[in-house]
Structure 1
């Protein structure tokens, strides 16, 4: 099935406008009713959220336009294998709920930098964490969000990609809403419902149009564009497209590399990815860990991770498979391989798999419904960008600029934060050409590769901080430095010697870049950091005994309470059954 170019109609544009009015109203209402008179109220919604609200917010915090674009794009390019990341997240969410959150609550902290400061003391780890977060914001979050959001606008309205980027930034600047975590959580919950139902409806419609699962399984391997590059195989579907964990010989996602190498990156994302300062005057970033800390109790936080894990089974069906369906329905556009043709379609020489989801929305959804879907995607993106801008400003001014300047005024900090956001945005826009041409144009795989060169050391240090009382500040710091240096060198070399970005190009990179798959490199990076941290900790003084003992006793108490509660509940159930 191939159709002409489809754009948003006037009705769709009206739906988008009405949707944004509703979102703004919900945000303002929640802001007015939120408890913001304290740090806990502003940053953690008064710690009164139930597991349903927090679980939905955990899911939507992870799912944004880059997820829909990325998962659907990789699904269209390589099959269901990319869905393995979602199942990996199910397990790591439980690590957050049952190992990390009890420690964070026992430590009485609001943010991850403050946990590092309380666990190890000193300022070095806090500054490093802030700098690493800013690097990741620029190269994996801000740039990717701008690119994926602009793709939605480009496909919907037919604008130039970079005009779409500047239009997106303008809308974010006009419609930014502040008001603490409560406003964002309630807005996210509203969007999560629409996302899931809208994406589910799109999936059902897509399967209906191609003849169900049997139609997808039979047609997807044959979905090839009419025009191809002679004597190449880049237009062909991966031979392992129908398995989640691919053989060791697979260069994109070998099962051993995925299980061992992706896990540290997932630990960083799900268990430690939150960076801000508990200053009521500073802006707020509300990401994964902070959502969990907003729960009214430990049991609600753990219930939220279980609920979020359950919902994480959906993306394989409502994002990855729709991307595959889009390739079946629109092979000449989604599966294009001729570089010049691809650039005409999506302004990328590497391929157009990233347009799979918006193309499917515009192609098969009825008028009005496609406007609503586009509005949900763009609103989620705007929420992400708003959080990124606020968090980056806070991190730079509080954790970095204040250490460079003695006693800066509030006005000076405000100006410095705004200037940094402008610099970060310009840098991110300049980086967009790299994002859209790397990893064969698959934005989701680009994110995974870059983060896996930088975050495994962070995952190692947090695991040691939570599980090994003997780890001290010197061990953690030098372990991070060693891991970061090795990972950063690899990342610089990766962009200094880029791989083939067009169909037909040969891979001229050195063997240690070409043949050393990034997931295996992440495994090495993780254990290198752990080894350095352990050795340095053992060779230097023990951490403050009272501080560490208090943290771990509290953690043990929480775990004991949970265990006793579960056992008692089972005993009471058995007694009740016997009485019957």
Structure 2
């Protein structure tokens, strides 16, 4: 890339982003402004910010690369992204979250759950889970942006990672959620334009819609033996039912991320930032169109990259990427797209990285400052020089960068599914109960949250081989990488942890409600007898 063109372009982009961040900073007066944007954010800004936070480099780079291996079956995830991630999240969950958070005066996701169930433990424990596990997701978003900059600019990956982290931390520290959402909305427009052009050019390169899909279908005979043994049935088909690839695609990629979106703290908080329900209704259309082009485009471009690379290099995409799925999309862009688009997509990936990481860091900082320290009575730290929330930004960025340097290649999609899955198992039953079930109890919520996180983490550490072998704890304790045979080695923990936490939530709530009713009835009888 020509640095005399790129540097002014990036500086102009950073200048606009900085201007928007400064505008958000000037608009941030109260703590409510910092946390939930004063609850009067424009619906279009909110929807674009939500979409930009949802669709990050993990989708564009990570899942796009995974789609080059698994095929068009990943489009089922795009379907769930729109139905659950947009319609249900805004029109069903979002409206109730907005109203109830306003009534409870709750500005963060853990505080919302804690205040509803009248439990400091839920607030602190939920905030702790977010602060401990979210850096893993934050780091892989940084990795996705860093990998693209590594390929397109030919710079050291570690330098790219560090620069992205510094830019993000400055936005979040200064302007809070207002700065995050304004810069998100601007970045979302760039992302939408970039991915729309990328999708059109990719289809043109493979012969158009019909010929491109025919050519992809014809590649079935080129499926590598190791993938065929795992159940790969071609890029235009789902893997063989019950095969290792089928379990990974369906349980981890599609269900893990598709369902987990409803319990994402950084996304649920967006519903708290708008003024009324009409704003959420308007957001459904904007958000749906954005997700369709962003997620759907990435999941189609990934498989089609095999057609392009076979025609130009005689190799499948994963071979061109040297076995690292995170490099498929960056190498397709540098090989296929004209030079001007590489500059545009550099800004697109920067926008995707900055928008998502800034939102994640904001949630981590609020979890640290508001949900943990403030709930425990700590209001300032470091000799009263800095607020807990801003200290949380610094710690969150440091943790994300450390993990970004240490996590292995090809980890983006797996780490995304990990975070989405544990959030679904840990938070979704208690959140759904708070919104829709009057019979939900504090004891049921506490038991469900603990059960969900415990079952999920146990599954990743001791059952699902792709993670348990990487962590090494099962090998250290039991002398083997996993404790149960196939298919448990390929079943995502969400499949059993979410039903388990739901059963615990309902069962404990019913039991504790019944005991309280019995105690109230007994008290009434005793007092009636005393009066008589």
TM class, shorter-length: 0.7 to 0.9
Q: Is the 8 A contact 2:169 2:394 kept in 1?
A: no
Mapping for residues 225-304 of structure 1, pairs under 5 Å: 232-233=226-227, 238-243=232-237, 248-254=241-247, 258=251, 266-270=258-262, 272-274=263-265, 287-304=266-283
- Which of 124, 129, 133 pairs up with 1:132? 129
What SS does structure 2 have at the residue aligned with 1:178? helix
1:368 aligns with 2:364: no
The corresponding residue for 2:49 is 57
Normalised TM-score (structure 2): 0.81
The corresponding residue for 2:524 is none
Q: Is the 8 A contact 2:21 2:179 kept in 1?
A: yes
Classify 1:326/1:543 alpha carbon distance in 2 versus 1 (closer, same or farther; 3 Å): farther
Q: Is the 8 A contact 1:334 1:356 kept in 2?
A: no
Mapping for residues 25-104 of structure 1, pairs under 5 Å: 25-32=19-26, 34=27, 36-92=28-84, 93-104=86-97
Deviation string, structure 1 residues 27-85 (Cα, Å, up to 9, x no partner): 334544x3x34444444434334433332222112122222102210121221122221
The corresponding residue for 1:155 is 151
* C-alpha distance in structure 1 between counterparts of 2:93 and 2:36, whole Å: 17
* C-alpha distance in structure 2 between counterparts of 1:55 and 1:478, whole Å: 33
Q: Is the 8 A contact 1:453 1:518 kept in 2?
A: no
Mapping for residues 298-447 of structure 1, pairs under 5 Å: 298-315=277-294, 317-330=296-309, 335=316, 351-402=323-374, 409=381, 411=383, 414=386, 424-425=396-397, 427-432=399-404, 435-437=407-409, 441=410, 443-447=412-416
The corresponding residue for 1:181 is 177
Gaps of 5+ in 2: 473-479, 518-532
Deviation string, structure 1 residues 349-405 (Cα, Å, up to 9, x no partner): xx2222222223222333333212202311331233333334323322443345667
C-alpha deviation, 1:241, in angstroms: 2.2
The corresponding residue for 2:119 is 122
C-alpha deviation, 1:451, in angstroms: 3.6
The corresponding residue for 2:99 is 106
C-alpha deviation, 1:453, in angstroms: 4.4
Q: Is the 8 A contact 1:248 1:256 kept in 2?
A: no
Q: Aligned Cα RMSD in Å?
A: 3.8
Gaps of 5+ in 1: 1-6, 275-286, 346-350, 501-507, 546-580
Q: Is the 8 A contact 2:426 2:498 kept in 1?
A: yes
What SS does structure 1 have at the residue aligned with 2:488? coil
The more displaced of 141-150 and 386-395 is: 386-395
* C-alpha distance in structure 1 between counterparts of 2:242 and 2:231, whole Å: 16
The corresponding residue for 1:548 is none
What SS does structure 2 have at the residue aligned with 1:313? helix
C-alpha deviation, 1:301, in angstroms: 0.8
- Which of 504, 510, 521 pairs up with 1:538? 510
What SS does structure 2 have at the residue aligned with 1:329? helix
Q: Is the 8 A contact 1:142 1:428 kept in 2?
A: yes
* C-alpha distance in structure 2 between counterparts of 1:8 and 1:333, whole Å: 29
Deviation string, structure 1 residues 491-532 (Cα, Å, up to 9, x no partner): 2224443499xxxxxxx8547264126656423212211222
Normalised TM-score (structure 1): 0.75
The corresponding residue for 1:561 is none
Deviation string, structure 1 residues 112-139 (Cα, Å, up to 9, x no partner): 2222122110211111111111233122
* C-alpha distance in structure 2 between counterparts of 1:175 and 1:408, whole Å: 21
Mapping for residues 1-12 of structure 1, pairs under 5 Å: 7=1, 9-12=3-6
- Which of 440, 446, 459 pairs up with 1:471? 440
